[in-house]
Amino acid sequence: MQDPQGTRDESRARPLARWSLPWANLALVLASLLLSLVLLEIGFRAVAGLPVFKFADWRTHRLLPGQFRDRVVADPVVGWTNVPWTRSDDSESNFETIDYGIRRNFDETTVRTGGMLAVGDSFTQGVEVDRNESWPAALEGMTGVPIVNAGVAGYGTDQIIMRAEQLLPIVKPKILIIGFFDDDILRAGRSLHDGAPKPYFTIENGELRYHPPPRLQPPKQESLMSSIGYRLRDGLGYFATADYVLARLTPGYWYGTESERYQRRPEVNEVAVTCALLRRVKAQADKDDIRTILFMQYYAYDILEASKPPRHAQRVIACAQAAGIRVADQFMSLRDIAVRRRSAMKEYYIYRPIDRGYGHMSAKGNRHAGHMLSQALRDWLEALPRTHEAGAQPPTGERP
């Protein structure tokens, strides 16, 4: 005989089973989706050469000047500068600084005077290469003359020259090398660069007028949906795959709530300001019998796609020469190499297969730069004292 009680219990259980089945299926789908996303993230990082298990805000990490990283600090005069006595543990191996945020070339522990001072942006600093692979380090190894590497990532030509003016009385060099990357000229026309407040100059009544880094205004009041969207963006920033995709599909959304927070442009004639600043620093250097050279560098795509430098770079080169500044221009020597073999640029610049993009100069590209500068400076270098034999490792030392 069938148990009536058992029948009643079974009838009560059936609706519960029917009710729980959709939720179980949903949980299974979500778990499968989450696992797929995790595997996709791990696979993307492995292919892209990124640390597989690193917890990082990739969106913020990619903002150019790196003002959000530990190695730089805000500066009320030049906008930002390298933190002194720091070491970076990210992909830029062996990034170490000493006093004044100067990057070590080798194992120097003090600011070496009486040699050469190199100022510039990330191309001079040697982003993406080891400390002994930047072009200042390469040039020092070739000549035996100590070179102070004072490059700071993200600088415009205005900031580069201001840093030279700050360090000339400290380093007391015999030669000043001003390293410009062609985009640095355009950065002189910005009061914000990739979110970082920077100073700028205008020319008024024929005179340079300095404008300090502006204070960032508080963000505008956002709607609820907009606020949710940007909170979601902040969370997605910790996924390298989301950073790669959204930076290309919606860069305006990915990098800020409004474009002017990252690229504010006052009414500035970038070329005229750069030329006026070059004349100013040249006059300061001449007073102390310091010889000045301008070293112009370019993106790989400029080399590959054009037969001559961009117009703004040509104009700055011309005004530098008119001011009596010696110029070493890397464009044509690299262009000749690219014309013979286009793929050679992958050797001279850091090449990223994942997005087929070029970054900063590789160790080989920096050696090319060092060789070009050593040739351009040959007659000046003959009168400078060497601290070690050319091509040899400089003496080491411990921090005092």
Please report the DSSP string for 219-282 in residue order: PPP--HHHHHHHHHHHHHTT-HHHHHHHHHH-HHHHH-SSGGGT----S--HHHHHHHHHHHHH
**Residue 395 pLDDT:** 46
Query: 116-119 and 192-193 as β-strands: parallel, antiparallel, unpaired?
Result: unpaired
Among 28-32, 234-238, 254-258, where is mean pLDDT lowest?
Answer: 254-258
Is the pLDDT reported for residue 19 higher than 80? no
**Residue 382 pLDDT:** 85
- Per cent of the chain over pLDDT 90 is 54
The answer regarding whether domain 61-215+264-381 maps to CATH 3.30.1330.40 reads no
Is the pLDDT reported for residue 156 higher than 70? yes
Instruction: List pLDDT tens digits, range 76-133.
Output: 999 999 989 988 755 455 789 999 999 999 999 999 999 999 999 999 999 889 999 9
Is the pLDDT reported for residue 194 higher than 80? no
Instruction: List pLDDT tens digits, range 31-82.
Output: 888 888 888 888 887 876 667 777 766 665 444 344 445 677 888 999 999 9
139 vs 149: CA distance, rounded Å: 11
Give me the sign of the Cα torsion angle 254, 256, 260, 262.
Answer: negative
Is the pLDDT reported for residue 261 higher than 60? no
**Residue 232 pLDDT:** 79
CB atoms closer than 10 angstroms to residue 216: 12
Among 143-157, 232-246, 266-280, where is mean pLDDT lowest?
Answer: 232-246
**Residue 375 pLDDT:** 96
Alpha helices in the chain (DSSP H): 4-48, 58-61, 122-125, 135-143, 157-171, 182-187, 224-236, 240-249, 251-255, 270-287, 300-305, 311-322, 331-340, 345-348, 363-376, 378-381
* 234 or 359: which leads in pLDDT: 359
Among 150-159, 193-202, 283-292, 299-308, where is mean pLDDT lowest?
Answer: 193-202
**Angle subtended at Cα 361 by Cα 130 and Cα 264, rounded to the nearest 5 degrees:** 105
Mean pLDDT of the chain: 83
Give me the sign of the Cα torsion angle 153, 103, 123, 360.
Answer: negative
Instruction: List pLDDT tens digits, range 21-32.
Output: 777 777 787 888
Is the pLDDT reported for residue 367 higher than 90? yes
Q: Do residues 156 and 201 lie in contact, with contact meaning Cβ atoms separated by under 8 Å?
A: no
Q: Do residues 202 and 209 lie in contact, with contact meaning Cβ atoms separated by under 8 Å?
A: yes
In which element (H, E) is residue 204 found?
Answer: strand 200-204
- Per cent of the chain over pLDDT 70 is 77
